[in-house]
Amino acid sequence: MILLRPWWLVALLPLAALAVWSARRAPEAGGWESVMPPQMLAAMQAMGALTGAGGRWVRILPVAAALALVLGLAGPALPRDDVPVLARTDSVMIAIDLSPSVAKGAALGQAQQAVAALLQGVGGRPVGLILYGGEAFAASAPTTDPRTLETLIAVMDHQTMPATGSRPAAAIGMAGQMLTDTRQADVVLVTDGGGVDRQAMAEAGRLADMGVRLWALRLTGLAAEATVPDPDALKALTQGGDVLAADNADSLAARLRTGGDAVRDPMLRALGYLDLGPFLAALAVLPLLFMLRRRT
């Protein structure tokens, strides 16, 4: 059992103070307590002549009703067996650089391992895949089944892309087109950092304005004839995210695992539980009905 609205328990503090004050207060006697000496009032009550409105316990009834309401508002809940299935929109788009500098060197193996770690670690978020070199191609729309992407990753090689070059701008632009809800999305570039230009910066800025976080996993072990890219280029490109080494893919996956749900509607969480609050709050009717009973 969990509490969906635990902050309501704060109301128990003044309620406890009210209960203590009510229990210690002298019993009412239909107004006679204001005109009788205390000794005479006590004697009359001991004889049963002045019972007031039903005794000391009757004054606890409002406190009992308030207690049921507070506990009900706190939202005690149990997990539901028939949880509704909701389509998640907090997608993660992974863009893999397959330019010759990556695909013809040891960096390709690093990219495959890094992407595999991301697929296993993003915690059920839909993941889409983009492959890019001189052009960008959508390899897979966002899916919650990582097994469909693992085969694609395993067969990547230097012949996968039909054109040479490296244009991260094309990959970033395509990622923005494939995302269904950019307010909760992340884009991850798995790259050596080559090809970052003004157009790439402009595409990254456009996604940042839409609420997308851009991350990068930096690859090493480039092909022998490749030119080493500017190490600061990726840092300037990532907006809202960060640049990590490819062997830190598990760390990035942990950050992505919580990044999407943190901005989701918190009311969706209640759909996974049976809220017992209304039933508990309804118990407040019992002491209230007893307080309103007809007296003869």
Task: Classify residue 143: in a domain, yes or no.
Answer: yes
Whether 124 and 205 map to the same domain: the answer is yes
Task: Classify residue 296: in a domain, yes or no.
Answer: no
Range of the domain at 238: 92-263
Whether 280 and 151 map to the same domain: the answer is no
Whether 100 and 184 map to the same domain: the answer is yes
Whether 259 and 273 map to the same domain: the answer is no
Whether 179 and 200 map to the same domain: the answer is yes
Whether 166 and 248 map to the same domain: the answer is yes
Q: Give the span between the Cα atoms of 290 and 57, in whole angstroms.
A: 12
Q: Give the span between the Cα atoms of 238 and 191, in whole angstroms.
A: 12
- Specify the DSSP element, H or E, that contains 117: helix 107-121
pLDDT, tens digit (0-9, with 9 covering 90-100), for 26-82: 556 556 666 778 788 778 777 766 655 455 667 788 888 999 999 999 989 888 776
The answer to whether 223 and 192 are in contact (CB under 8 A) is no
The answer to whether 189 and 216 are in contact (CB under 8 A) is yes
pLDDT given for residue 265 in this prediction: 52
* Alpha carbon separation from 280 to 65, 74, 269, 277 (Å, rounded): 10, 10, 20, 5
Task: Classify residue 21: in a domain, yes or no.
Answer: yes
Task: Classify residue 233: in a domain, yes or no.
Answer: yes
> The CATH number of the domain where 184 resides is what?
3.40.50.410
The answer to whether 111 and 216 are in contact (CB under 8 A) is no
Whether 118 and 162 map to the same domain: the answer is yes
Sign, CA torsion 219/223/229/233: negative
Hey, is 215 helix, strand or coil?
A: strand
pLDDT given for residue 117 in this prediction: 92
Of 188, 186, 208, 206, the closest CA to residue 259 belongs to 186
pTM of the model: 0.60
Whether 163 and 252 map to the same domain: the answer is yes
Task: Classify residue 275: in a domain, yes or no.
Answer: yes
Whether 34 and 148 map to the same domain: the answer is no
Q: What is the 3-state secondary structure (H, E, C) of 124-136?
A: CCCEEEEEECCCE
Task: Classify residue 87: in a domain, yes or no.
Answer: no
Task: Classify residue 107: in a domain, yes or no.
Answer: yes
The C-alpha angle 159, 165, 166, rounded to 5 degrees, equals: 105
Task: Classify residue 99: in a domain, yes or no.
Answer: yes
Whether 126 and 247 map to the same domain: the answer is yes
Identify the segments of the chain with pLDDT beneath 50: 53, 261-264, 296
Whether 200 and 154 map to the same domain: the answer is yes
How many separate domains does the chain show?
2
Whether 172 and 216 map to the same domain: the answer is yes
pLDDT, tens digit (0-9, with 9 covering 90-100), for 71-100: 999 989 888 776 555 556 688 999 999 998
